[in-house]
Chains A and B, each alone.
Chain A
Amino acid sequence: MTMIDSGTQATPAEIKQSVAELEDEAITIIREVAAECRNPVLLFSGGKDSAVLLHLAAKAFRPGSLPFPVMHVDTGHNFEEVITYRDMLVEQYGVKLIVASVQESIDSGRAVEETGPRPSRNRLQSVTLLDAIAEHKFDAAFGGGRRDEDKARAKERILSFRDHFGQWEPRAQRPEPWNMLNAKIRPGEHLRAFPLSNWTELDIWRYIGIENVALPSIYFSHRRTVVERNGMLLSVGGPVVLEAGETPFEETVRYRTVGDASCTGAVRSTASNVDEVLVEVAAARITERGATRADDNFSDSAMEDRKREGYF
């Protein structure tokens, strides 16, 4: 494939080399956590970062099989295409899938649905996630978080320690000189592992192109009925309910991130394949979370607050 890149003057060979170095680093982290932890799990949302993460994890142990299960924290507010895609991948990789349901957390009274005009289940995911980690006695959870995503994430370790309450305490993080990972924990505590820490959005797309990583179709341009809310295009139907004065319209869009359908926005785009997305990403002037996540735009520490509560 051709690599078009307005961000750097790097040649295709140089791009391949830099992405291969990131792959080596990620695979080293995945193997290390698998070896040091008793019962790890890989968190899989169906988004592009978790798709890359699963692809890397499979490669890390080839020709052996993945030595840990995959878990989807299901908000119940899904894009249909993402669930189809998830089930296809589970089949393809032959991995064990655990689904932790936010709806069940609500039904059992562990979580309470947000009220008000625009309820989101994004924060409720933390409750479901922590309950599932406790139920299955997971001691480490791999996530696709990247440091370039958000200013709070920029401070996070590769192997991030969580206390008995599942909380992240930024002031008490373990130093990681030479990226040496310390997986020592006590009962009740757990770790989050971020093998993609040093990847950027551009690196992810380059890797998807080079490795032919399959993605849900909504990452590429398609026609969709949307409504514009706070400058964000939300898909009409499902959890997004039209409010007074709002007029839905059809638009050619794609998604830059995939999350809870109630608060993940689409962007206007005609990019229909990885090469075209790469051009778009290299020229982007707004971060992917800023462009597509209503939940991160509430305040300038929204992500930090959710991480402290146990979010991904």
Chain B
Amino acid sequence: MVLRIATAGSVDDGKSTLIGRLLHDTKTVFEDQLSAVEKASTRYGDGSLNLALLTDGLRAEREQGITIDVAYRYFATPKRTFVVADTPGHAQYTRNMVTGASASDVAIVLVDARNGLTEQTRRHLFVASLLGVKLVILAVNKMDLVDFDEATYHRIVAEATAHADALPAPVVLNPLPISALLGDNVVDASTNMPWFKGLPLLDLLETIEVPGDHNVGARLAVQWVIRPYSTEHHDYRGFAGRLTGGSLAIGDLIRVLPGGQQSTVIGIDRGGVPQDTAQPGEAISVQLADDIDIGRGDVLVAAVASEAPIVTDRIIADISWMVDKPLETGSRWIIKHQTRTAKAFVSAIELRHDVATATHSPAESLGLNDLGRVHLNVSVPLVIDNYDRHRPGGAAVLIDEATGMTCAALMIRDSE
């Protein structure tokens, strides 16, 4: 029911203006917010209502007229509820785009009609492909500044489509011409572009169908073991976590990984309320028939899973590097995968992705905003899935032990 959207574009492509326009035209903007924006528009601009100020919430952003950090906005129409991650297009652009895209159903990639496809656009399409964003809307913005010219629009769409087809995992584009500033094709169909027969953006967002998650069979990474030790619940041992991959029911046979023991589900609670079955996404606790040693980090897997996960301490992953300090072969990091935290050693940097050409080249190290592929040795076995088959089992982050900073997002592709 909720559609999660990430926006991406270069600096000045008009992302914040577009989101401001969506919020404003869907009447999501409250009167006090609007009057604050009116006041700020006078201070930071020429006085005409600057809708970007609705999302650029930090003082430095207002002063510099840029977006610094991912901002989340919530709005609803009678048909759907939306969460928008507004991801900035400069400095830490890849890190922000990866973060925004990681939890999104749809990515809106903005292109300035005057400039056409830039390296940033190609980068955004590449990130969408790498992160497995299911739907991409290519919004060719500022059509008012190219006289709403149909040929310009088609040229940009053709160029973007050619790039999208060449990506490691091809991305299907839903293109449309807009003017975020004037509102053309945002909420209402544009009268300036009668040649465009598609839906305006909001109609598209309201009706677009998100493909369901791939069913690999139930997985539950144990977060916490509930042991009440009370008289009433003396023998209760609940393995708490979020169910992913498939449904689970009382009576199901499960395996505990990496250990390999088997048992049967005898109880499922959600928020302390017993239920017979659980669906993916639900935060539950599971009781088992046998007294097995299970702790945080272990994964309960349906014994008859349609696709069994891999248990391995050697992984191959695509990586988005997010900090200034470079990633080098032989370096050591903390890896967090599902509910397991362990040490990881970079045994090889296989390649660096060239986002502009959708090709790759050998690399000695990876720097801020680089995308690449690495091989890691992990101090303990992890229970992994291919990221494209089962996202929670294929996603991980690297943390710098010295600073505590999150340095990388990993999309696990395989074991070594």
Contacts and interface: CB of A to CB of B under 8 A. Distances in A.
A21 B58 CA distance: 29
Interface string B50-84: 00001111111010000011111110111101010
Contact of A284 (B30, B36, B59, B391): B30
B22 interface: no
Interface stretch (A170-178, A242-250, A270-278): A170-178
B223 A62 contact: no
Contacts of A148: 73-74
Interface string A1-26: 00000011110001001101101110
B399 A182 contact: yes
Interface string A145-174: 001101110110000010000000011011
A24 B322 CA distance: 29
Interface string B231-262: 01100101011100000000000000000000
B58 A152 contact: yes
Most central of A32, A36, A58, A64 by chain B CB within 10 Å? A64
B399 A184 contact: yes
A28 B242 contact: yes
Contacts of B242: 24, 28
Contacts, number: 180
Given A8-B81, A62-B271, A178-B395, A286 B281 contact: no
B345 interface: no
Most central of A28, A151, A184, A198 by chain B CB within 10 Å? A151
Contacts of B401: 184
B228 interface: yes
Nearest to A65: B228
B102 A290 contact: no
A23 B271 CA distance: 9
Nearest to B72: A147
A175 B174 CA distance: 28
A117 to B, nearest CB: 24
Nearest to B40: A300
Given A182-B397, A198-B72, A174 B405 contact: yes
Interface in B18-47: 30-33, 36, 39-40
B211 interface: no
Contacts of B282: 20, 24
User: By DSSP majority rule, is chain B's interface helix, strand, loop, or mixed?
Assistant: mixed
B103 interface: yes
Interface in B175-200: none
A67 to B, nearest CB: 9
B15 interface: no
A280 to B, nearest CB: 14
A18 B1 CA distance: 7
Contact of B404 (A64, A184, A198): A184
Given A9-B79, A62-B271, A304-B58, A177 B334 contact: no
Nearest to B400: A184
B62 to A, nearest CB: 8
Contact of B73 (A17, A58, A154, A287): A154
Contacts of A284: 30
Contacts of A27: 271, 283
A289 to B, nearest CB: 8
Contact of B33 (A23, A35, A61, A290): A290
A31 interface: yes
Nearest to B392: A178
A136 interface: no
A75 to B, nearest CB: 24
Contacts of A171: 60, 68-69
A208 to B, nearest CB: 15
A179 interface: yes
Given A8-B78, A177-B395, A185 B404 contact: yes
B212 interface: no
A28 B70 CA distance: 22
Contacts of B54: 151
Contacts of A200: 74
Contacts of A64: 226-228, 233, 236, 238
Nearest to B397: A180
B24 to A, nearest CB: 13
B58 A155 contact: yes
A180 B228 CA distance: 27
B371 interface: no
A301 interface: yes
B149 interface: no
Given A23-B271, A63-B232, A64-B228, A290 B32 contact: yes
Given A10-B1, A148-B74, A31 B57 contact: no
B68 to A, nearest CB: 6
Contacts of B76: 7-8
A258 B146 CA distance: 51
Contact of A154 (B72, B236, B283): B72
Contact of A63 (B55, B236, B283): B236
Contacts of B32: 286-287, 290-291
B113 interface: no
B103 to A, nearest CB: 6
B35 to A, nearest CB: 9
Given A24-B283, A286-B32, A175 B406 contact: yes
Nearest to B2: A18
Interface in B72-120: 72-74, 76-79, 81, 83, 95-96, 98-99, 102-103
Contacts of A17: 1
Nearest to B78: A9
B395 A180 contact: yes
A154 B86 CA distance: 10
B361 interface: no
A235 B386 CA distance: 59
Contacts of B233: 63-64
Given A62-B269, A177-B99, A178-B392, 15 more contacts: A10-B81, A18-B81, A31-B240, A35-B224, A61-B226, A63-B272, A64-B228, A64-B233, A151-B54, A151-B56, A175-B98, A178-B391, A180-B395, A300-B62, A304-B57
Interface of B: 1-2, 30-33, 36, 39-40, 54-60, 62, 68-74, 76-79, 81, 83, 95-96, 98-99, 102-103, 223-224, 226-228, 230, 232-233, 236, 238, 240-242, 269-272, 281-283, 296, 320, 322, 334, 336, 339, 341, 391-392, 395-397, 399, 401, 404-406, 409
In the A-B complex, the 6 residue pairs with the smallest Cβ-Cβ separation, listed nearest first, are: A62-B272, A151-B57, A290-B32, A59-B271, A177-B102, A184-B404
